[in-house]
Chains A and B, each alone.
Chain A
Amino acid sequence: MNTLPQRFRLALVAVPVFALMATACGGDDSASGENGDADEAITIYSGRDQELIDPLIDMMRESTGLEIDVRYGDTAQMANQIETEGEDTNADLFIGQDAGALGFLVQEGLLAELPSEITDQVPAEYRAANGEWVGISGRSRVIAYNPENVDDVPDSVLDLTDPEWEGRVGIAPTNASFQAFVTGLRVIEGEEAAEQWLEDMVANDVQTFENNRSMLDGLETGEIDISLNNHYYWYERMKETPDEVTSELHYLPAGDAGGLVNVAGAAITANASNPEGAQTALEYLLSDEAQGYFTNETSEYPLADGVELGEGLPEVDALEQPDIDLSDLHSLDETVEMLREAGLE
């Protein structure tokens, strides 16, 4: 065994690696904003997808001149992380995928109250009662269905427990939006009714999916005929592969829990190291430019006043938000417990 050349080879590998590491560390220091201009640098924790938020952040940098770092993760995980970090939190601004996580942080006292010039831009039902968070885009729960097999789409999710729908309905029980809907159902119809509905759905052989996307796949392949999902997944599909979409959407009328309009929202953390910068960023998220971006990119509903709707979206008036305070959606644990009891998680 000739070891010397091997060691030599090891060195050949190691030197560039360490050089790389050094540059990575160096780059990291400047990026983390500690050495940067502290007034201008903020850190955003985003529970929303990188694919969607990254371009928006670039626009934000351009428009506000802020230096911005973003961390991505699941919404609840990010909220948990902010809670774990407590007073030392690195997050200045939190962007959440649903109101429940924002409500959780309100409860924990980890969010700062926002000035009224920010909260007033958004209708009251899409922001926190005491103004700790504002919705930045709206997403409606809908029924997507296969028109070949479904003539008469039910107008309430409560009808889906009928034997007629046995084995034909799909849900994504681990998906945060579905869980928010169940929480909404508990708030609107009461605990017992919600529990009963879940049990009846299971008894009716409801099909479960990992996420909205695979569920819409199941709808196209005929695995199911009805899917309970967020409206924009269907629009995304229409943009990606319009020829392959045969399903259609049905918006539920009259404030049915199945037509809940949840929001993606943003909030400034109570312990932010740069609250001014975070506020500038939040104001930008409610600007016409950012709101237009949401509605055109993701087909979500803009929530700030006077922004034009994205292509193909029905008017906001068609959305009938059930009578509910979105902050109440934070009682997620009870929902998950209920889903478990029903054998759905």
Chain B
Amino acid sequence: MTDVQHGRTKPEPSQKRGGSGRVASLPFSLPLALPLYLLAGTTAVLAVLPLLYVLFQAFSEGPSALVEALTRGRTVELLVNSLTLTATVTAGCLVLGVGLALLVSRVRLPGNRFWALVATLPLAIPSYVAAMVWMEAVPEVRGFVGSAIVLTLCTYPYVFLPVVAALGLADRDQEEVARSLGRGPWYVLTRVTLRHVQPSAAAGSLLVALYVLSDFGSVATMRYDTITRAIYNDYANRFDMASAASLSAVLVAVTLLVLWGEARARGRARFSRVGSGATRTRPPRDVSAELLEQLPPKLTRAPGLAPAVRALTGALLVLPFVLVAAAALVFPVVSLSYWIARGSSAGVDLPRMVETALTTLGVSAAAAAVTLVLALPVGILAARHRGRVPRLLEGATWMGYSMPGVVVAVALVYFAVNHAFALYQQLPLLIFAYALLFLPAAVGSVRSAVAQSPPGLEEIGRSLGRTPPQVFTRVTLPLAFPGVAAGATLVFLTCMKELPVTLMLHPTGMETIAMRLWSATNVGRFAAAAPYAMMLIVLASVPAFVLGRKATAMER
């Protein structure tokens, strides 16, 4: 610590990198803030539309019927099932996601970048496909265990990605300071490093928890009774929506609790650099070298020992990645290949597959763009403004994501038929529905990307006489672009896999890969479904790969 860097005393709360400490009080001139609030408000209102419909339906039979539906023993049982599964999967994803992220970014592995990408790729496996594969191979896991395994393996990247990115950005100097003050590695890990990643881990867990709460496909295949499965069965098998709506209301209440919990878990304290300049990059720990140093010199001079130690430690260190990849990636892909090679119902219609693939890509890309446009004002507001209103607007964007897709779809069908028939069963409405479902991922990435770009630069732009919109397009957006693009990529990826909303809102005659999968599995023709499942995985692995690269690029 010879060259004392200016201004580094202690970590100050609530600041982002390069921030001048005035984030909270940054005076936004009204001309820009007002439209921003209006735009964000519009997004929020659109996002709570399905919720309004659910409440309207839930109360349609009168309050007594609603109370009766909510106090049924079955409702309680379903709720307990849903919560147990959600808690288990979230915990599993935290362990897997944070553990793998620490390994990748803090330890020297043979091929760090490669393993980081491998750990991201399970995002490309739709949970219903994974469930199908597991059920066919090991029917014994059905129920809670199978659902937990499948959902954990398919969603842990939601935690892994932000945590890897956060570790890449984390200020390593503080870890060194802690070590130099005599703290052990365990203390540093739990009190310094993990505190750095707490906000990103909490945000990732939120995506996981709400995904699990609203997922239908995998729990249905695994035959595990959750609230969402019951809601789906209500909509699919009955001619009465009130019961499904009352269950949905329960689910929304749970969502609000989860959102509140995440806000608490995000943690008040933020550790960020105060001084200017970049933190020094440090090489990741070389475990095998450290081991060799521990050994007596006599031993290490033995021929072939050093390489052997390196190979062994390397193998042990990548073992977790290998195991996760085997269960989450290799197993489904190999099973699908086997089905493709086997069944007699497999007839691959190539032109149709290509057309379906192009449709899926086009619709998902459009949805990603629209979602981003809707998310921008909310994300910027959340990043640059404190207070209840921005928090509320941001919270509103979670509504669509946390409801089962079928509920959102039914709500939109109802609205379109009654208020906007021209949009009914047309592409714009489908794309809008996707945006409602996947807003949170985009809002979150916009928020963190904007928060990480120093407001000082915007102020300079303003001081040079540029208008707020000019500053936004010339300064804020370019600075935040990589993070925003990652959000759009994630939305793109999730749209490709989406099924219930697509099924109910698509323009007649349009087909996505997920729809074809549904048709084939409906009649139990796995061999016919397998090529489509494989194609979906291959296509989805491209955005997953891009996300993985981006998250790890920050470290270098």
Q: Mark interface residues in B482-526 (1 if CB within 8 Å of A CB, else 0).
A: 100100000000000000000110111110000110011011110
Determine if B544 is an interface residue (Cβ-Cβ < 8 Å): no
Contact A79 B230 (CB under 8 A): no
Determine if A274 is an interface residue (Cβ-Cβ < 8 Å): no
Determine if A21 is an interface residue (Cβ-Cβ < 8 Å): yes
Across-interface contacts of B256 in A (CB, < 8 A): none
Closest to A211 in B: B524
Contact B241 A52 (CB under 8 A): no
Contact B508 A69 (CB under 8 A): yes
Determine if A120 is an interface residue (Cβ-Cβ < 8 Å): no
Contact A76 B239 (CB under 8 A): yes
Contact A217 B417 (CB under 8 A): no
Q: Which residues of A from 199 to 228 have beta carbons under 8 Å from B? A: 208-211, 213-214, 217-218, 221, 223
Across-interface contacts of B344 in A (CB, < 8 A): 239-241
Count of interface residues, chain B, beta-carbon cutoff 8 Å: 58
Q: Which residues of B from 411 to 436 have beta carbons under 8 Å from A? A: 413-414, 417, 421, 424-427
Determine if B223 is an interface residue (Cβ-Cβ < 8 Å): yes
Contact B507 A28 (CB under 8 A): yes
Across-interface contacts of B519 in A (CB, < 8 A): 49-51, 72
Across-interface contacts of B478 in A (CB, < 8 A): 1, 3, 7
Across-interface contacts of A345 in B (CB, < 8 A): 74, 230, 233
Q: Mark interface residues in A86-107 (1 if CB within 8 Å of B CB, else 0).
A: 1010100000000001001000
Chain B residues with a Cβ under 8 A of chain A: 72, 74, 135, 139, 220-221, 223, 230, 233-241, 343-345, 358-359, 361-363, 365-366, 369, 413-414, 417, 421, 424-427, 478-479, 481-482, 485, 503-504, 506-510, 515-516, 519-520, 522-525, 527-528
- The docked-state distance in angstroms from the alpha carbon of A88 to that of B235 is 21
Option from A13, A213, A332 in Cβ contact (under 8 Å) with B239? A332
Contact B503 A73 (CB under 8 A): yes
Given A21-B427, A31-B507, A240-B345, 16 further pairs, Cβ under 8 A: A1-B482, A3-B481, A17-B365, A20-B361, A21-B365, A24-B359, A28-B507, A32-B508, A50-B516, A51-B519, A51-B528, A52-B523, A73-B503, A74-B236, A332-B237, A336-B234
Across-interface contacts of A74 in B (CB, < 8 A): 236-237
Across-interface contacts of A240 in B (CB, < 8 A): 343-345, 525, 527
Q: Which residues of A from 9 to 35 have beta carbons under 8 Å from B? A: 10, 13-14, 17-18, 20-21, 24-25, 28, 31-32
Closest to B223 in A: A210
Known A51-B525, A221-B139, A333-B239; contact A70-B508, beta-carbon cutoff 8 A: yes
Option from A17, A49, A217, A336 in Cβ contact (under 8 Å) with B366? A17
Chain A residues with a Cβ under 8 A of chain B: 1, 3, 6-7, 10, 13-14, 17-18, 20-21, 24-25, 28, 31-32, 43, 49-52, 69-74, 76-77, 79-81, 83-86, 88, 90, 101, 104, 174, 176, 179, 208-211, 213-214, 217-218, 221, 223, 233, 236, 239-241, 330, 332-333, 336, 340, 343, 345
The 10 residue pairs across chains A and B that have the minimum distance between CB atoms:
A213-B524, A20-B362, A50-B519, A3-B478, A31-B509, A17-B365, A74-B236, A69-B508, A28-B507, A49-B523
Known A32-B508, A32-B509, A51-B528; contact A24-B236, beta-carbon cutoff 8 A: no
Known A24-B427, A76-B236, A80-B241; contact A214-B135, beta-carbon cutoff 8 A: yes
Contact A179 B417 (CB under 8 A): no
Contact A28 B426 (CB under 8 A): yes
Contact A88 B417 (CB under 8 A): yes
Across-interface contacts of B524 in A (CB, < 8 A): 211, 213, 233, 236
Contact B362 A336 (CB under 8 A): no
Contact B427 A333 (CB under 8 A): no
- Which secondary structure dominates where chain B touches chain A? helix
**How many whole Å from B351's CB to the nearest CB in chain A?**
14
- The docked-state distance in angstroms from the alpha carbon of A236 to that of B528 is 14
Closest to B509 in A: A31
Most buried by B among A76, A208, A217: A76
- The docked-state distance in angstroms from the alpha carbon of A236 to that of B525 is 10
Contact A1 B479 (CB under 8 A): yes
**How many whole Å from A3's CB to the nearest CB in chain B?**
4
- The docked-state distance in angstroms from the alpha carbon of A330 to that of B508 is 27
Known A24-B363, A28-B510, A210-B223; contact A79-B417, beta-carbon cutoff 8 A: no
- The docked-state distance in angstroms from the alpha carbon of A179 to that of B135 is 24
Contact A51 B237 (CB under 8 A): no
Across-interface contacts of B221 in A (CB, < 8 A): 210
Across-interface contacts of A209 in B (CB, < 8 A): 223
Q: What would be 21 A-B contacts, judged by CB atoms less than 8 Å apart?
A: A3-B481, A7-B481, A17-B365, A17-B369, A24-B510, A28-B427, A32-B425, A49-B522, A69-B508, A71-B506, A73-B503, A80-B239, A80-B241, A84-B413, A174-B237, A214-B135, A217-B139, A240-B344, A241-B344, A343-B74, A345-B233
Closest to B235 in A: A77
Most buried by A among B238, B343, B365, B366: B238
Across-interface contacts of B520 in A (CB, < 8 A): 51
Across-interface contacts of B523 in A (CB, < 8 A): 49, 51-52, 236
- The docked-state distance in angstroms from the alpha carbon of A236 to that of B485 is 47
Across-interface contacts of B417 in A (CB, < 8 A): 84-86, 88
Across-interface contacts of B510 in A (CB, < 8 A): 24, 28, 31
**How many whole Å from A277's CB to the nearest CB in chain B?**
15
- The docked-state distance in angstroms from the alpha carbon of A6 to that of B520 is 40
- The docked-state distance in angstroms from the alpha carbon of A174 to that of B237 is 8
Across-interface contacts of A333 in B (CB, < 8 A): 238-240
Known A28-B426, A28-B509; contact A176-B239, beta-carbon cutoff 8 A: no
Across-interface contacts of A217 in B (CB, < 8 A): 139
Across-interface contacts of B413 in A (CB, < 8 A): 81, 84
Closest to B511 in A: A50
**How many whole Å from B452's CB to the nearest CB in chain A?**
12
Option from A70, A176, A218 in Cβ contact (under 8 Å) with B237? A176
**How many whole Å from A276's CB to the nearest CB in chain B?**
19
Across-interface contacts of A239 in B (CB, < 8 A): 344
